Amino acid sequence: MQFVLNGKKTNIPAHPMKRLLDVLREDCGLTGTKEGCGEGECGACTVLLDGQAVNACLVPFGQVRGRSVKTIEGLRGRHPLQDAFVTEGGAQCGMCTPGMIMAAAALPRNATLDDVRVGLAGNLCRCTGYMGIYRAVQKAARTASAGSASRSKDGKHAGGRRKATRTKARAAKPSRRARS
């Protein structure tokens, strides 16, 4: 089945009902995407599908035909979010981190703290207490904005804003866990 994986046209002969999570880890060798709950509750498996954050454990591979999938490997270790998670203490054991970063990557650059909280509400972390994660996301947004402003001054395109579509979907979904 053909799709675009981290910017490259890819053809993987996996069963259409195989979970995207398993295709990525087993057939594509991209183990950065983690499995936590396996049932859409923890967000550890979050990837971007056509720019929207989805839980890869809930997506049958057949649904990605002809579409674009981005995983944590697609950020190539150079995304401002990845630096910010390190410097702001947004990662400890790291199990939730790829999913957190991919969910954060789907947020608009001008997201408020409340937007960040809602946008990451489907991503659970057992280690950090979340504040380091929220700081990291906001720091990365400031870094990206500064970069865009400087590119704009140079007369170059500042880049488009991502839609936070998953924010709405997650806000509508009752959570099993209350957060402080």
Residues forming contacts to ligand FES in the complex (CB under 6 A) are 35-38, 40-45, 55, 57, 91-97, 125-128
**What CA–CA distance (Å, rounded) separates 111 from 113?**
7
Neighbours of 78 (CB within 10 A): 7
Q: Which is nearer to ligand FES, 6 or 46 (CB)?
A: 46
Q: Which is nearer to ligand FES, 24 or 141 (CB)?
A: 24
Burial 104-123 (b: 16+ CB within 10 A, else e): bbbbebebeeebbbbbbbbb
Is residue 61 within 8 Å of residue 20, measured between CB atoms?
Answer: yes
Residue 11 beta carbon to ligand FES: minimum distance, rounded to whole angstroms: 25
**What CA–CA distance (Å, rounded) separates 148 from 130?**
27
Residue 166 beta carbon to ligand FES: minimum distance, rounded to whole angstroms: 12
Residue 104 beta carbon to ligand FES: minimum distance, rounded to whole angstroms: 13
Residue 131 beta carbon to ligand FES: minimum distance, rounded to whole angstroms: 12
Which tokens go with 12? 């993987």
Q: Which is nearer to ligand FES, 43 or 80 (CB)?
A: 43
Q: Which is nearer to ligand FES, 7 or 129 (CB)?
A: 129
